[in-house]
Structure 1
Protein backbone atom coordinates (compact mmCIF):
# COMPACT_ATOMS: atom_id res chain seq x y z
CA UNK A 1 0.00 0.00 0.00
CA UNK A 2 2.83 2.40 0.90
CA UNK A 3 4.47 1.74 -2.49
CA UNK A 4 1.22 2.56 -4.29
CA UNK A 5 1.00 5.90 -2.47
CA UNK A 6 4.58 6.81 -3.29
CA UNK A 7 4.10 6.44 -7.06
CA UNK A 8 1.87 9.56 -7.41
CA UNK A 9 4.33 11.47 -5.21
CA UNK A 10 7.19 10.57 -7.57
CA UNK A 11 5.19 11.82 -10.56
CA UNK A 12 4.55 15.11 -8.73
CA UNK A 13 8.30 15.54 -8.14
CA UNK A 14 9.00 14.92 -11.80
CA UNK A 15 6.92 17.97 -12.73
CA UNK A 16 8.45 20.32 -10.13
CA UNK A 17 9.85 23.47 -11.74
CA UNK A 18 13.41 24.48 -10.95
CA UNK A 19 12.53 27.76 -9.26
CA UNK A 20 13.47 28.83 -5.74
CA UNK A 21 12.25 31.69 -3.55
CA UNK A 22 14.29 32.63 -0.47
CA UNK A 23 12.65 34.81 2.17
CA UNK A 24 9.33 34.87 0.35
CA UNK A 25 6.59 32.44 -0.57
CA UNK A 26 6.63 32.60 -4.37
CA UNK A 27 8.55 33.59 -7.49
CA UNK A 28 7.32 36.70 -9.36
CA UNK A 29 7.32 35.11 -12.83
CA UNK A 30 8.35 32.07 -14.84
CA UNK A 31 11.58 33.69 -16.05
CA UNK A 32 13.11 33.52 -12.57
CA UNK A 33 15.16 30.59 -11.26
CA UNK A 34 16.17 32.19 -7.92
CA UNK A 35 14.59 35.17 -6.19
CA UNK A 36 15.09 36.73 -2.76
CA UNK A 37 12.65 38.44 -0.40
CA UNK A 38 12.60 42.16 0.35
CA UNK A 39 14.19 42.21 3.81
CA UNK A 40 17.24 44.44 4.27
CA UNK A 41 19.64 41.58 3.59
CA UNK A 42 22.12 40.80 0.85
CA UNK A 43 23.72 37.77 -0.71
CA UNK A 44 27.32 37.05 0.29
CA UNK A 45 29.51 35.78 -2.51
CA UNK A 46 32.03 32.96 -1.94
CA UNK A 47 35.37 34.06 -0.50
CA UNK A 48 38.43 32.81 -2.40
CA UNK A 49 42.11 33.30 -1.54
CA UNK A 50 42.71 34.66 -5.05
CA UNK A 51 40.40 34.92 -8.05
CA UNK A 52 43.32 33.99 -10.29
CA UNK A 53 43.62 30.64 -8.52
CA UNK A 54 39.99 29.66 -9.21
CA UNK A 55 40.17 26.89 -11.77
CA UNK A 56 37.43 26.22 -14.28
CA UNK A 57 35.61 29.51 -13.67
CA UNK A 58 33.20 30.37 -16.47
CA UNK A 59 32.01 33.83 -17.54
CA UNK A 60 29.54 35.13 -14.97
CA UNK A 61 31.30 33.55 -11.96
CA UNK A 62 31.35 36.00 -9.03
CA UNK A 63 33.69 35.86 -6.01
CA UNK A 64 35.09 37.96 -3.17
CA UNK A 65 38.89 37.94 -3.65
CA UNK A 66 40.74 37.91 -0.31
CA UNK A 67 44.09 38.82 -1.92
CA UNK A 68 42.93 42.38 -2.63
CA UNK A 69 39.53 42.52 -0.87
CA UNK A 70 37.53 43.06 -4.04
CA UNK A 71 34.40 41.59 -5.57
CA UNK A 72 35.16 40.21 -9.02
CA UNK A 73 33.24 38.70 -11.91
CA UNK A 74 34.71 36.44 -14.58
CA UNK A 75 34.15 38.25 -17.85
CA UNK A 76 35.59 37.51 -21.27
CA UNK A 77 38.30 35.16 -19.93
CA UNK A 78 39.53 37.66 -17.31
CA UNK A 79 38.42 38.89 -13.87
CA UNK A 80 36.64 42.27 -13.79
CA UNK A 81 36.81 44.29 -10.57
CA UNK A 82 33.38 45.36 -9.29
CA UNK A 83 34.64 46.98 -6.05
CA UNK A 84 36.81 49.78 -7.46
CA UNK A 85 37.80 50.92 -3.95
CA UNK A 86 41.02 49.32 -2.67
CA UNK A 87 40.34 49.65 1.07
CA UNK A 88 38.32 46.45 1.48
CA UNK A 89 38.59 44.42 4.66
CA UNK A 90 37.39 41.19 6.20
CA UNK A 91 37.73 42.48 9.77
CA UNK A 92 34.38 42.41 11.55
CA UNK A 93 33.81 45.98 12.85
CA UNK A 94 31.78 44.71 15.82
CA UNK A 95 34.12 42.00 17.14
CA UNK A 96 37.30 43.39 15.53
CA UNK A 97 38.22 39.86 14.43
CA UNK A 98 39.37 38.78 11.01
CA UNK A 99 36.59 36.97 9.16
CA UNK A 100 39.21 35.09 7.11
CA UNK A 101 40.41 33.35 10.26
CA UNK A 102 36.86 32.27 11.04
CA UNK A 103 36.31 31.04 7.50
CA UNK A 104 39.68 29.25 7.25
CA UNK A 105 38.94 27.19 10.37
CA UNK A 106 36.08 25.49 8.53
CA UNK A 107 36.78 22.42 6.42
CA UNK A 108 35.91 22.89 2.75
CA UNK A 109 33.78 20.26 1.10
CA UNK A 110 35.01 20.56 -2.48
CA UNK A 111 32.18 18.48 -3.93
CA UNK A 112 29.48 20.71 -2.37
CA UNK A 113 27.25 22.24 -5.02
CA UNK A 114 23.67 23.37 -5.36
CA UNK A 115 22.30 23.50 -8.88
CA UNK A 116 18.97 25.01 -9.82
CA UNK A 117 17.85 23.76 -13.21
CA UNK A 118 19.52 21.04 -15.26
CA UNK A 119 22.60 19.84 -13.38
CA UNK A 120 25.84 20.10 -15.37
CA UNK A 121 29.54 19.82 -14.56
CA UNK A 122 29.89 23.63 -14.36
CA UNK A 123 32.04 24.41 -11.29
CA UNK A 124 30.60 26.52 -8.49
CA UNK A 125 28.85 26.47 -5.13
CA UNK A 126 25.51 27.75 -6.39
CA UNK A 127 24.96 27.24 -10.09
CA UNK A 128 21.83 28.44 -11.86
CA UNK A 129 21.71 26.12 -14.85
CA UNK A 130 18.65 27.36 -16.72
CA UNK A 131 19.38 28.96 -20.08
CA UNK A 132 16.07 30.85 -20.08
CA UNK A 133 15.75 31.97 -16.44
CA UNK A 134 17.59 34.55 -14.33
CA UNK A 135 18.37 35.28 -10.70
CA UNK A 136 16.88 38.34 -9.05
CA UNK A 137 19.30 39.70 -6.47
CA UNK A 138 18.10 40.76 -3.02
CA UNK A 139 16.50 44.19 -3.38
CA UNK A 140 17.31 46.83 -0.75
CA UNK A 141 16.57 50.55 -0.78
CA UNK A 142 19.78 52.42 0.05
CA UNK A 143 21.75 49.38 1.29
CA UNK A 144 24.52 51.62 2.68
CA UNK A 145 21.92 52.98 5.12
CA UNK A 146 19.61 50.01 5.66
CA UNK A 147 21.92 46.99 5.95
CA UNK A 148 23.21 47.51 9.47
CA UNK A 149 26.19 45.14 9.46
CA UNK A 150 27.07 44.16 5.85
CA UNK A 151 29.61 41.40 5.30
CA UNK A 152 32.53 41.55 2.90
CA UNK A 153 31.45 40.17 -0.45
CA UNK A 154 27.81 41.21 -0.12
CA UNK A 155 25.84 42.03 -3.25
CA UNK A 156 22.33 43.55 -3.61
CA UNK A 157 20.27 45.61 -6.03
CA UNK A 158 19.73 49.15 -4.71
CA UNK A 159 16.08 49.91 -5.49
CA UNK A 160 16.51 53.65 -4.87
CA UNK A 161 19.52 54.24 -7.12
CA UNK A 162 18.53 51.42 -9.51
CA UNK A 163 22.09 50.06 -9.33
CA UNK A 164 24.02 46.94 -8.44
CA UNK A 165 25.66 47.48 -5.04
CA UNK A 166 28.66 45.48 -3.80
CA UNK A 167 30.34 45.72 -0.38
CA UNK A 168 34.09 45.04 -0.13
CA UNK A 169 34.25 45.02 3.66
CA UNK A 170 34.61 48.79 4.07
CA UNK A 171 32.67 50.63 1.36
CA UNK A 172 29.84 50.08 -1.08
CA UNK A 173 30.49 50.37 -4.82
CA UNK A 174 27.65 50.94 -7.28
CA UNK A 175 27.24 49.79 -10.88
CA UNK A 176 24.66 50.97 -13.37
CA UNK A 177 24.10 49.18 -16.67
Structure 2
Protein backbone atom coordinates (compact mmCIF):
# COMPACT_ATOMS: atom_id res chain seq x y z
CA UNK A 1 0.00 0.00 0.00
CA UNK A 2 1.41 3.33 -1.05
CA UNK A 3 1.30 6.46 1.13
CA UNK A 4 0.95 8.78 -1.86
CA UNK A 5 -2.85 8.36 -2.29
CA UNK A 6 -3.38 9.05 1.45
CA UNK A 7 -1.25 12.20 1.32
CA UNK A 8 -3.15 13.41 -1.72
CA UNK A 9 -6.48 12.85 0.09
CA UNK A 10 -5.30 14.73 3.20
CA UNK A 11 -4.01 17.64 1.11
CA UNK A 12 -7.27 17.85 -0.87
CA UNK A 13 -9.30 17.80 2.36
CA UNK A 14 -7.15 20.52 3.90
CA UNK A 15 -7.57 22.77 0.87
CA UNK A 16 -11.34 22.32 0.81
CA UNK A 17 -11.67 23.17 4.53
CA UNK A 18 -9.40 26.22 4.19
CA UNK A 19 -11.84 27.76 1.74
CA UNK A 20 -14.67 27.63 4.32
CA UNK A 21 -14.10 30.79 6.33
CA UNK A 22 -16.56 32.36 8.80
CA UNK A 23 -18.71 35.14 7.46
CA UNK A 24 -18.50 38.39 9.37
CA UNK A 25 -21.67 39.56 11.08
CA UNK A 26 -22.75 43.01 9.94
CA UNK A 27 -24.30 44.04 13.27
CA UNK A 28 -24.47 42.42 16.65
CA UNK A 29 -27.66 42.39 18.72
CA UNK A 30 -27.69 44.81 21.65
CA UNK A 31 -26.46 43.54 25.00
CA UNK A 32 -29.26 42.57 27.37
CA UNK A 33 -30.10 45.22 29.95
CA UNK A 34 -31.06 44.63 33.57
CA UNK A 35 -34.36 42.82 34.03
CA UNK A 36 -37.04 45.12 35.46
CA UNK A 37 -38.76 43.98 38.63
CA UNK A 38 -42.48 44.66 38.92
CA UNK A 39 -42.52 47.15 36.12
CA UNK A 40 -44.64 47.97 33.13
CA UNK A 41 -43.60 48.54 29.55
CA UNK A 42 -44.88 51.73 28.02
CA UNK A 43 -43.63 51.86 24.48
CA UNK A 44 -39.87 51.92 24.66
CA UNK A 45 -39.76 52.91 28.34
CA UNK A 46 -40.00 50.71 31.41
CA UNK A 47 -41.27 52.17 34.65
CA UNK A 48 -41.54 50.84 38.18
CA UNK A 49 -45.10 50.21 39.32
CA UNK A 50 -45.98 52.50 42.26
CA UNK A 51 -46.65 50.51 45.41
CA UNK A 52 -44.66 47.46 44.25
CA UNK A 53 -41.68 45.84 45.97
CA UNK A 54 -39.49 47.39 43.26
CA UNK A 55 -40.92 50.82 44.13
CA UNK A 56 -40.29 50.19 47.83
CA UNK A 57 -36.69 49.07 47.22
CA UNK A 58 -36.04 51.97 44.86
CA UNK A 59 -37.44 54.56 47.26
CA UNK A 60 -35.65 53.08 50.28
CA UNK A 61 -32.25 53.18 48.54
CA UNK A 62 -30.78 50.68 51.01
CA UNK A 63 -32.89 51.76 53.98
CA UNK A 64 -35.03 48.61 53.72
CA UNK A 65 -32.36 46.91 55.85
CA UNK A 66 -31.21 47.81 59.35
CA UNK A 67 -28.12 46.39 61.07
CA UNK A 68 -27.43 45.35 64.64
CA UNK A 69 -24.45 44.94 66.92
CA UNK A 70 -23.46 41.49 68.18
CA UNK A 71 -26.19 39.89 70.35
CA UNK A 72 -28.26 43.10 70.15
CA UNK A 73 -31.75 43.88 68.91
CA UNK A 74 -32.20 47.51 69.95
CA UNK A 75 -33.07 50.22 67.42
CA UNK A 76 -30.38 52.91 67.26
CA UNK A 77 -30.59 56.38 65.68
CA UNK A 78 -29.47 55.15 62.24
CA UNK A 79 -32.08 52.37 62.31
CA UNK A 80 -34.74 54.88 63.35
CA UNK A 81 -34.05 56.97 60.23
CA UNK A 82 -34.50 53.91 58.02
CA UNK A 83 -37.68 52.80 59.80
CA UNK A 84 -39.20 56.31 59.57
CA UNK A 85 -38.60 56.21 55.81
CA UNK A 86 -40.25 52.78 55.63
CA UNK A 87 -43.21 54.08 57.64
CA UNK A 88 -43.63 57.01 55.22
CA UNK A 89 -43.86 54.60 52.30
CA UNK A 90 -46.28 52.31 54.16
CA UNK A 91 -48.51 55.32 55.01
CA UNK A 92 -48.56 56.27 51.33
CA UNK A 93 -49.80 52.74 50.45
CA UNK A 94 -52.20 51.82 53.27
CA UNK A 95 -53.35 48.60 51.56
CA UNK A 96 -49.80 47.22 51.47
CA UNK A 97 -48.47 44.87 54.09
CA UNK A 98 -44.86 44.16 54.97
CA UNK A 99 -42.84 41.22 56.24
CA UNK A 100 -39.84 41.92 58.43
CA UNK A 101 -37.18 39.24 58.29
CA UNK A 102 -34.67 38.87 61.13
CA UNK A 103 -31.17 37.48 60.59
CA UNK A 104 -28.02 36.80 62.62
CA UNK A 105 -24.41 35.99 61.92
CA UNK A 106 -23.17 32.40 61.92
CA UNK A 107 -21.99 32.31 65.51
CA UNK A 108 -24.18 30.73 68.17
CA UNK A 109 -26.59 27.83 68.11
CA UNK A 110 -29.41 27.54 65.62
CA UNK A 111 -32.02 27.95 68.37
CA UNK A 112 -30.30 31.03 69.84
CA UNK A 113 -29.98 32.66 66.42
CA UNK A 114 -33.60 31.98 65.46
CA UNK A 115 -34.72 33.64 68.71
CA UNK A 116 -32.36 36.60 68.22
CA UNK A 117 -33.47 37.05 64.61
CA UNK A 118 -37.08 37.13 65.80
CA UNK A 119 -36.26 39.74 68.47
CA UNK A 120 -34.59 41.89 65.79
CA UNK A 121 -37.55 41.66 63.41
CA UNK A 122 -39.99 42.28 66.28
CA UNK A 123 -38.03 45.36 67.38
CA UNK A 124 -38.30 46.78 63.85
CA UNK A 125 -42.03 45.94 63.72
CA UNK A 126 -42.64 47.56 67.11
CA UNK A 127 -40.88 50.73 65.98
CA UNK A 128 -43.01 50.89 62.83
CA UNK A 129 -46.13 50.39 64.99
CA UNK A 130 -44.97 53.26 67.24
CA UNK A 131 -44.88 55.40 64.08
CA UNK A 132 -48.54 54.65 63.37
CA UNK A 133 -48.37 51.61 61.10
CA UNK A 134 -51.10 49.13 62.03
CA UNK A 135 -49.65 45.99 63.62
CA UNK A 136 -51.90 43.76 61.48
CA UNK A 137 -50.07 45.02 58.35
CA UNK A 138 -46.73 43.73 59.61
CA UNK A 139 -45.55 40.15 59.94
CA UNK A 140 -42.30 38.90 61.43
CA UNK A 141 -40.15 35.90 60.53
CA UNK A 142 -36.69 34.82 61.68
CA UNK A 143 -34.18 33.02 59.52
CA UNK A 144 -31.45 33.19 62.15
CA UNK A 145 -28.13 32.28 60.58
CA UNK A 146 -29.69 30.18 57.80
CA UNK A 147 -29.65 32.81 55.02
CA UNK A 148 -26.50 34.93 55.27
CA UNK A 149 -26.13 37.98 53.06
CA UNK A 150 -22.35 37.49 53.03
CA UNK A 151 -20.63 34.10 53.05
CA UNK A 152 -17.48 34.68 55.07
CA UNK A 153 -16.30 34.26 58.64
CA UNK A 154 -14.96 37.76 59.26
CA UNK A 155 -16.19 40.59 61.43
CA UNK A 156 -17.16 42.57 58.32
CA UNK A 157 -19.27 39.67 57.01
CA UNK A 158 -20.87 39.07 60.40
CA UNK A 159 -21.81 42.77 60.62
CA UNK A 160 -23.64 42.56 57.24
CA UNK A 161 -25.50 39.42 58.35
CA UNK A 162 -26.85 40.86 61.63
CA UNK A 163 -29.89 42.56 60.12
CA UNK A 164 -33.61 42.99 59.73
CA UNK A 165 -34.98 43.38 56.20
CA UNK A 166 -38.41 44.78 55.33
CA UNK A 167 -40.18 43.45 52.23
CA UNK A 168 -43.60 44.41 50.96
CA UNK A 169 -46.20 41.72 50.43
CA UNK A 170 -49.57 41.85 48.72
User: Shared fold (TM-score greater than 0.5)?
Assistant: no
- TM-score normalised according to structure 2 size: 0.26
Higher strand share: 1
- TM-score normalised according to structure 1 size: 0.26
Look at both structures and tell me which one has the larger radius of gyration over its CA atoms.
Answer: 2
Higher helix share: 2
